[in-house]
Amino acid sequence: MNNKNLKKLVRPNLFKISPYIPGRPKEEICREFNLAKKDVIKMASNENALGVYEVIADELKKCLEEIYLYPEGGGKEVCKKLGDQWGLSPDNFILGNGCDEIISMVCETFLKPGDEAVIGKPTFSYYEIACRIADAKCVFVPLRNYKYDLTDILKKITSKTKLVFICNPNNPTGTIVTKKEVDKFLHLLPDHVIAVFDEAYAEYVDDVNFPNSMEYLRGKINKNIIILRTFSKVYSLAGLRIGYGISNSEIIKYLNLVRKPFNVNRLAQCAALASLEHKEWLDRSREMVFDGKEYLYKQLDKSGIKYVPSQANFLLIELARKGEIISDKLLAYGIIVRPTTSFGLPDCIRVTVGTKKQNKRFIEVLKKILLLNF
């Protein structure tokens, strides 16, 4: 079979997909620039710069003896613990191989070709990818002043709309929508639409106006909503792949129809359970991020570099230069950040808040690069 014929076998909607661009891995940068791993700082994927919590690493070592056995299929124990934590029933939870997989499951469950999904722009790119895989139409709503505008989103809802994705705090801008805005939005949301609130960074929010979205599931507002949370960020488990969805038990039942039998591995479930027991890690991580943001804001202000104040563990920095050029230059110094061209923000970079030492190094190098004539 020649290549031309092979292409015809592929579902045509897949050609509309721009592949997901991840932050570049440390190993690749070490090879490319001949640097030792200890000299490379990853500030590109919003992982937890504190690294692995030793208590969880010890639990994982114990769990290794069991990896010849399949994991518990639906992650019942984790769902039960999450239910206790959030004051909900285990039936309100579904686990995913990262919340990426839950986004896929949501699209697979609800979208058929021609359905519409409303998505902010710029935002986390996987919503668009998952919708396009399902052959749905993506309806984009530009952010206003780097922020989701829920009134604009409501205006884009039609009879064909099935899903609305709201990233709160938003990646890559770090901005939030408030409880007041969400209350009003949900009040006006039609019954044929499901609102997906992606709260991957919620643990880092310190704005008192952030909604406690679990309240919406405790019966206060009878609307179709799905909340997404992850163990990849504040819990430091990005490499294990575990996230969760929270919704009413009927929606969870439908999502389970498309869930693969053993989608979340044994180590991930073990680490998640242990993490829910050891909340001290969250406090340490949050403190690092709050202190780190304060330092970065101060330094950027001093240098006259603009940024968007963030409620997450990353910062969108506006540069009067191409972000790609700046991020390439940072790479040569072993600092990996995320250029935001693929988000439609060519003059910005997104930088994960690091440890004190990493933030200091980043600022020193950034200033040096910006002073150079190129």
Ligand X SMILES: Cc1ncc(COP(=O)(O)O)c(C=O)c1O
100 binds ligand X (CB under 6 A): yes
Nearer to ligand X, 238 or 305 (CB): 238
234 binds ligand X (CB under 6 A): no
Nearer to ligand X, 242 or 274 (CB): 242
Residue 239, classified by CB atoms within 10 Å of its CB into exposed (0-12), middle (13-18) or buried (19+), is exposed
243 binds ligand X (CB under 6 A): yes
Q: Which stretch binds ligand X (CB under 6 A): 78-86, 93-101, 219-227, 348-356?
A: 93-101
Torsion of CA 19, 358, 58, 260, to 10 degrees: -10
Q: How far is the CB of 243 from ligand X (least distance, A)?
A: 3
Number of residues forming the site for ligand X (CB under 6 A): 13
Q: Say if residue 122 is preceded by a cis peptide, omega within 30 of 0.
A: yes
- Residue 112, phi then psi, degrees to nearest 5: -120, 165
Q: Binding to ligand X (CB under 6 A): which residues in 315-354?
A: none
Nearer to ligand X, 265 or 299 (CB): 265
Q: Binding to ligand X (CB under 6 A): which residues in 143-182?
A: 167, 171
3-state secondary structure of 341: helix
Helix crossing, 356-371 with 280-303: angle to 10°?
20
Of the CA atoms within 13 Å of residue 147, those in its CB half-sphere come to: 13
Q: How far is the CB of 228 from ligand X (least distance, A)?
A: 7
Nearer to ligand X, 86 or 370 (CB): 86
* Residue window 198-227: x/- pattern of binding to ligand X, with contact defined by CB under 6 A: x-x---------------------------
Regarding beta strands 243-246 and 225-230, do their DSSP bridges make them parallel or antiparallel, or are they unpaired? antiparallel
Q: How far is the CB of 226 from ligand X (least distance, A)?
A: 13
120 binds ligand X (CB under 6 A): no
Paired with 307 in beta bridges are 317
Rounded Cα distance between 250 and 161, Å, is 20
- Which positions touch ligand X (CB under 6 A)? 46, 98-100, 124, 167, 171, 198, 200, 230, 232, 238, 243
